Amino acid sequence: MDRAHHEDKTATVLITDPLFYLLAIPAFLLTGISKGGFASGGGNLTVPLLSLVVPAPQAAGIALPMLCAMDLSGLRALWGKWSAREMRALMPGALLGIALGGFAFGVMPERAVKGVIGGISLIFLARTLWQKTRRTPPPKAEPSNLRGGFWGLCSGFTSTIAHAGGPPVAVYLYPLGLERQQLAATTVVFFGLVNYVKLIPYWFLGELNAENLLTALVLLPLAPIGVNLGIWLATRVNEKLYYRLLYALLLITGVKLTWDAIIG
């Protein structure tokens, strides 16, 4: 495997590069804010931002324990309020997507992983902006195990590669017209389960090594701070302004990672 950070590092400690923390602190705060119910796309920025200063697989490895910690708050608040029908439709495909994503993650070179993360960032941004130009919402769709399984697979794959499984799930869930709390609970519980299952391939890929876990431990206090900040901001801040900043950062990082993948 063509990754230096997969080598055995008996003397490894946590990351000490100041630039890493300069990006990691706002990235994880934004993720926590989105988990707290404010500006749900904030979590898509974490891995792209961290990949600017550390290898993309390492960025994902550091982010996963943080996401698992943040998921606990959402799971506790929304437990039992999800749509069991849609969970049954999504989860089988998601598990297969996680397995495929773990395999791809293990064989893809660093350059390719950066390209995938950059591409996912730009696709997410393009889809979001396109939706904002539509004058009417899409027609209400009927539940489907086939469509749910397909979009669950896509979500499991992109979530494993870059913790960016939100858009595929949204493509399936949003047109169903679920009640707002049920939609939120289904999304939170789905990604809570997905993130904890992802610990298995990440462990075997060596991304939950001492350096990544210690770094995540140092950043762990940001998890409850970000979630509670999201709850507080939800009723006090102009969400449009926040999204504009978020999209600008996502565009810059997506273009940078894609460019790095192209020029090598």
Kindly state the average pLDDT of the residues 47-75: 90
Contacts 24+ apart (CB under 8 A), 19-25: 19/53, 20/50, 20/53, 20/54, 23/49, 23/50, 23/52, 23/53, 24/49, 24/50, 24/62, 24/219, 25/219, 25/222
Q: Please provide the DSSP assignment of 48-111 as one string.
A: HHHTTTS-HHHHHHHHHHHHHHHHHHHHHHHTT-S-HHHHHHHHHHHHHHHHHHHHHHHHS-HH
Q: Where are the domains of the chain?
A: 12-263
Write b or e for each residue in 75-95: b if 16 or more Cβ atoms lie within 10 A of its Cβ, otherwise e.
Answer: beebeeebbeebbebbbebbb
pLDDT tens per residue across span 115-142:
888 888 788 788 777 877 776 666 778 8
Task: Determine contact, residues 57/114, Cβ cutoff 8 Å.
Answer: no
Q: Please provide the DSSP assignment of 34-47 as one string.
A: HHTTSSGGGGGGHH
Give the residue with greater pLDDT, 90 vs 4. 90
Rounded to an integer, what distance in angstroms lies between the CA atom of residue 259 and that of residue 264?
Answer: 8
Residue 151 pLDDT exceeds 50: yes
pLDDT tens per residue across span 176-190:
888 877 888 898 899
Rounded to an integer, what distance in angstroms lies between the CA atom of residue 92 and that of residue 152?
Answer: 7
The single-letter code of the amino acid at 215 is T
Report the SS3 class of residue 126: helix
- pTM score: 0.82
